[in-house]
Amino acid sequence: MEQKLTDIACSARILGALFYYSPEAPEARAIVDALRAPGWEREWPCAFDAACVAGFRARYAGDETLAQAWQRLFIGPHALPAPPWGSVWLDRESVLFGDSTLALQGWLRENAIAFETPLQEPADHIGLLLLLAAWLAEQGKTRELDELLAWHLLPFAPRFLEVFCAQAQHPFYVALGGLTRATLAHWRSALLMPVSQKPLYR
C-alpha cells in the first residue's frame, strides 16, 4: 500500500502539473526537461505506449511551439478542443460549475479538504484533480483518494483523454494524453470500489 501511494503521489503530481501549468511556468519547466531526457520511462510505475517517449521530446509541431500548443489546448482564445473541466463532460448543458462541480465541492467540504483554486476556477480541472490526488496520496488519505478517483476523476477522464489525444496535434501533448490514459487505467485496476457510472454528454 505504501508503494502504491508513493507511485500515485509522484505520477499524479507530474501529470497534474503538465495539464494545469504552462510548460514555461516554474511548476512545469523542470518536468518538461526531465521527460525530454532519457531514462525516466524506466521509473514510471506502470506500462505505457513506448511512442510517448519520443513524443515528449518534440519541441515543435509545424510552427507551433510547446507553449503555443498549451495555450491553444487550455486557454484559447478559440474554443478548446477538449475542455479540461469535468462538468463540461458530465453535465447535460456542458457548463462550467455544473452539478458535478458542486458535488465535488460538497465532497471537499465533507472531508474538510481546503482546496482553493486560482481565480475562482472550477475545482474539477483535470490538472487540479490530479494534483489533489497527489496530495491525498502524500497524506496517506487512502479512502479520500479512492473516492476522488472513483466518484470525481475516473467518470469523465477516459472520455476527455480520448478526445484530447485525438485533438492535441502537438506530439508532446499526445504523449501526455497517452501516458495519462495508461496511468489512470493502472490506478483503476487497483481500486477497491467501483467507479461511478455517469452519463457523458460530449
| pLDDT per residue as tens digits for the range 19-34 | 999 999 999 999 999 9
Q: What is the pTM (predicted TM-score) of this model?
A: 0.96
DSSP summary character for residue 138: H
Structural domains counted in the chain: 1
The pLDDT confidence band at residue 50, using thresholds 50, 70 and 90, is very high
Average pLDDT over residues 140-164: 98
Residue 9 confidence (pLDDT) above 90: yes
Give me the chain's average pLDDT, please: 95
Residues 6+ apart with CB under 8 A from 67: 22, 23, 24
The pLDDT confidence band at residue 48, using thresholds 50, 70 and 90, is very high
**pLDDT for the residue 115:** 81
User: Is 86 in contact with 101 (CB distance < 8 Å)?
Assistant: yes
Asked whether residue 202 is domain-assigned, the answer is no
Asked whether residue 88 is domain-assigned, the answer is yes
| Distance (Å, whole) CA 202 – CA 190 | 27
| Distance (Å, whole) CA 66 – CA 92 | 33
Asked whether residue 41 is domain-assigned, the answer is yes
**pLDDT for the residue 195:** 97
120: left (phi over 0), alpha (psi -120 to 50) or beta: left
Asked whether residue 197 is domain-assigned, the answer is no
64, containing H or E segment: strand 64-65
Residue 117 confidence (pLDDT) above 90: no
The pLDDT confidence band at residue 138, using thresholds 50, 70 and 90, is very high
**pLDDT for the residue 106:** 95
**pLDDT for the residue 120:** 78
Three-state DSSP class for residue 97: coil
142 is in which domain, residue-wise?
Answer: 1-190
User: Is 28 in contact with 22 (CB distance < 8 Å)?
Assistant: yes
Sign, CA torsion 137/88/170/62: negative
CATH of the domain at 180: 1.10.3480.10
**pLDDT for the residue 66:** 96
Asked whether residue 199 is domain-assigned, the answer is no
**pLDDT for the residue 2:** 87
| Distance (Å, whole) CA 92 – CA 179 | 28
Asked whether residue 131 is domain-assigned, the answer is yes
| Distance (Å, whole) CA 80 – CA 199 | 21
Query: What is the total residue count of the chain?
Result: 202
Asked whether residue 48 is domain-assigned, the answer is yes
DSSP summary character for residue 111: T
Question: To 10 degrees, the CA torsion angle through 18, 24, 26, 31?
Answer: 40
Average pLDDT over residues 92-105: 94
